[in-house]
Structure 1
Amino acid sequence: MSFDPLDHDLLRGLDQRRAVLGDAWVERSLANANTFTADFQNFITRYAWHDIWDRPGLPRKTRRTIVLAITIALGRWEEYELHVRAALLGDADSRLTPDELKEVLMQSAIYAGVPAANTAFAHAAAILRDVGPQIGYLLEPAAPLESVHPGVGREGRTDSRPALHYSVRAPRNGRRPRHTVVLSHALGCDLTMWDALANRLAADCRVIAYDHRGHGSSDAPAGAYSMADLADDAARLLRELDTGPVVWIGLSMGGMAGQELALRHPSLVGALVLAHTTSGYPDAARDLWRQRIATVQERGIDAIADAVMGRYFHEGFRSAHPATVARFRQRLVTTDVQGYIGCCAAVGGVDTTARLGQIAVPTLVLAGELDQGTPVGMARTLADGIPDARLQVLTGASHLGAIEQAGAFAAAVTAFVDCL
């Protein structure tokens, strides 16, 4: 029977330790070992670095995050500093950006306490002053009163009237935005319907979401609106925010407004995603919109709410996700009645079919396989009418495909934006 002189578990742990903490640190630790500490160095190399860090069940980056959180909670600042420095300078598979490190510390404030997080920020800031130039990150003055939640963005209202409520998410990578993207919501919804997609796109884009007139926190002027009114609203918003040409992503009413915007203000639109929308309704459907207006005028929005939810979400989704449906129903019934009626008039009167050939920007048309309000045939009319437009049908989606099939919707949108 042969005996292998190599202790493979020890060597595996040593390789892992080097990968996570860096060769220089490990070499110093080994070189500084003595008769008192050598056994401990052997122990932690085997059991921490091989038995735990070498387990493939979690990525190194996740394990790094766990160590940071625990050392903050326990106040083990020497070990914490070691892992902060290694996180900022280490291998790509265990590296954290300064912003990711900040998120770990922010969450630690909730679960480990504000005093611990306060100390953690102080230690991390000192390390960033030292290593920041190596990783292209400089600590600069910033005003706490101007800080905003990155998952919501900076909110505002237009100076022009009717005032539109909007949010702007800056690119999280801190660089110049690859695109400015505008997200335009459906009838009876508001800008929060886009939160998940907005945060995904804001990785490297400037993302603007807004409430249409009559919705959310925007003004609700009296009278019937036209789609030209909604398009001109959008143009006012984009000019106030000095966006230049944008990638417009509109769903249902938002897609109708996007078509009209591209026709009336072509310099403001660089590309279009038209989701679950149409360029016009047949006469029978226009009559149904007039009936909806009459019903809301007489009995309020609650009288139509269940029917709207039935069109927005298919039966399987309603059964599996009742809380989501309830949230959208609440948003619908709390919409300003005058604003809702005004936008119903705009939607029912949409009419761009004969002008679609004038839209001269890259366009993706998204349709829901199960959509009864704007069926695939209407989407095909859009794709056929807009030069070089591409049609994609989302399986298992009704009218609010961005919610029902959020992953597929986001994948289609991001693939389109990535190619611009």
Structure 2
Amino acid sequence: MSLPFVFRTIELDGQSIRTAVRPGNGQMAPLLIFNGIGANLELVMPFVRALDPDLEVIAFDVPGVGGSSTPSTPYRFPGLAKLAARMLDYLDYGQVNAIGVSWGGALAQQFAHDYPERCKKLVLAATSAGAVMVPGKPRVLWRMASPRRYIQPSYGVQIAPDIYGGAFRRDPKLALAHASKVRSGGKMGYYWQLFAGLGWTSIHWLHKIRQPTLVLAGDDDPLIPLINMRLLAWRIPNADLHVIDDGHLFLVTRAEAVAPIIMKFLAEERQRAVMHPQPSVTRGH
């Protein structure tokens, strides 16, 4: 039986940041979740519930989203990675495993690169290397660029099959359930998030990400075509790619199938190779 989330709003650099921690048993590094654009932390709850209840999980609303305050000036990914590190300090965490979803996958890459000692392992879900990505269809991206689906849930339900693909194409109830959990931070917070990613790319430093990395991709993702995830897995030295039979939000729609893959990855302790083992010498009597 997993413990309930502990919600706290903390003050950092003049910002109110809403955090949620699900306590664990301390056997494994906690999992820090970087959520998608415009997505408040409630939207990842179905995924968290599918994870091992003993795993400690940290989620938060980035500035301008959900219950966090909206800054008066825009920010970039390095600034957000620094804010995440400060948040971990405040909540008294040292090293964590990090998972980033979509827009949050870019922030997770930045965090792993800028704070390698804080990030033990990295999971990248439905994301890309930024500005150099192979884009989805223009109509899909145009709909994605607007916060309307978060501000007007009925519109979100209407366009969900087009922008999320996968199970959302087949089950209209999914879009309704998703929309019911949305807590909009308003238009400005959404535009600040778009600005954070404007012109950003990790392609020139992906080879410096040394953490063991699990890349998860949906095979029917209208927003992030699969080739982008293949590129990430190719450029990151210790990366494995796992393709899921679903769309952009497979972490939620296929939580029961994806959670065990992630738990297995997090539990693996990779042994360092012994380059020149000494032959064992049998002594004569």
Normalization by structure 1: what TM-score? 0.57
For residue 215 of structure 1, report the CA deviation from its aligned partner.
1.1
SS of match in other structure, 1:188:
coil
Q: Deviations over 1:294-329 (max 9, x none)?
A: 8559x995497457623553265344242x312433
2:93 aligns to what? 243
Q: Does 1:403 align with 2:255?
A: no
Which residue of 150, 155, 159 maps to 2:7?
155
Post-superposition Cα deviations, 1:313-362, rounded to whole Å, max 9, x if no partner, equal 3265344242x312433555833211111112223433111110111111
**What is the distance in 1 between the residues matched to 2:252 and 2:51?**
16
Query: 1:387 Cα shift?
Result: 0.7
* 2:263 aligned partner: 414
**Residues in 2 aligned to 1:374 and 1:191: alpha-carbon distance in whole angstroms:** 21
Task: For 1:294 and 1:183, locate their aligned partners in 2 and report how far apart those are by CA, in whole Å.
Answer: 22
Q: 1:339 to 1:315 in 2, by over 3 A?
A: same
Aligned length: 266
Mapped to 2, the partners of 1:233 and 1:290 lie a distance apart of 28
Change (3 A) 1:295 1:189: closer
Of 381, 385, 388, the residue aligned with 2:231 is 381
Query: Pairwise mapping of residues 1-400 of structure 1 onto structure 2 (< 5 A)?
Result: 150-151=3-4, 153-161=5-13, 162-171=15-24, 175-201=25-51, 203-282=53-132, 285=135, 301-302=151-152, 305=156, 309-314=160-165, 316-322=167-173, 324-330=174-180, 334-395=184-245, 397-400=246-249
State the identity as a percent. Answer: 28
Alignment CA distance shift 1:316-1:184 (3 Å): closer
Partner Cα distance (2:177, 2:229) in 1? 27
Distance 2:219 2:244 in 1: 6
Structure 1's 169 and 369: CA in aligned 2 closer, same or farther, altered over 3 A?
A: same
Q: Is the 8 A contact 1:318 1:325 kept in 2?
A: no
State which structure, 1 or 2, has the greater radius of gyration over its C-alpha atoms: 1
Contact 2:35/2:100 (<8 A) preserved = yes
Shift of 1:291: 6.0
* 1:114-169 alpha-carbon deviations (Å, 9 max, x no partner): xxxxxxxxxxxxxxxxxxxxxxxxxxxxxxxxxxx923x21112221322111111
Deviations 1:363-414 (A, max 9, x none): 000000001211211111111111120000001x111111122222212111
In structure 2, distance between residues paired with 1:377 and 1:234: 29
Cα separation, 2, equivalents of 1:280 and 1:412:
25
1: CA distance, partners of 2:163 / 2:185: 16
CA contact (8 A) 2:31 2:97 kept: yes
Residue in 1 aligned with 2:281? Answer: none
Residue number in structure 1 paired with 2:279: none
- Counterpart secondary structure, 1:278: coil
Cα distance change of structure 1 residues 342 and 179 upon mapping to structure 2, 3 Å threshold:
same
Report the RMSD for the aligned CA atoms in angstroms: 3.1
Matched to 2:17, the amino acid is L
The alignment partner of 2:74 has SS state of: coil
How far 1:282 moved relative to its partner? 4.1
Q: Aligned equivalents of 1:315 and 1:265: distance in 2?
A: 34
Checking the alignment, whether the CA contact within 8 Å between 1:184 and 1:191 is kept in structure 2 is no
Greater RCO structure (CA 8 Å; 6+ sep): 2
2:43 aligned counterpart, secondary structure = helix
Q: Where in structure 1 are there 5+ consecutive unaligned residues?
A: 1-99, 101-148
Q: Deviations over 1:199-257 (max 9, x none)?
A: 34452222111112211111111343322232222112111122111110111112111
Deviation at 1:285, TM superposition (A): 4.9
Distance 1:330 1:200 in 2: 19
Question: How far apart are the structure 1 equivalents of 2:169 and 2:181?
Answer: 16
Is contact 1:305-1:332 (8 Å) kept? no
CA distance in 2, matches of 1:380, 1:156: 37
| Cα 1:410–1:363 shift into 2, 3 Å | same
The alpha carbon displacement at 1:187 in A equals 1.2
- C-alpha distance in 1 between matches for 2:104 and 2:133: 21
Query: Partners in 2 of 1:295 and 1:206 — Cα distance?
Result: 34
| 8 Å Cα contact 1:255/1:277 also seen in 2 | yes
Question: How far apart, in 2, do the equivalents of 1:419 and 1:315 lie?
Answer: 29
Shift of 1:179: 1.8
- The secondary structure found in structure 1 opposite 2:222 is coil
Q: Is the 8 A contact 2:43 2:181 kept in 1?
A: no
* SS of alignment partner, residue 158 of structure 1: strand
Structure 2 CA distance for aligned equivalents of residues 196 and 296 of structure 1: 23
Letter in 1 for 2:48: A
**How many Å separate the matches in 2 of 1:310 and 1:349?**
28
Secondary structure at 2:8 match in 1 = strand
- Are the counterparts in 2 of residues 169 and 206 from structure 1 also a CA contact under 8 Å? yes
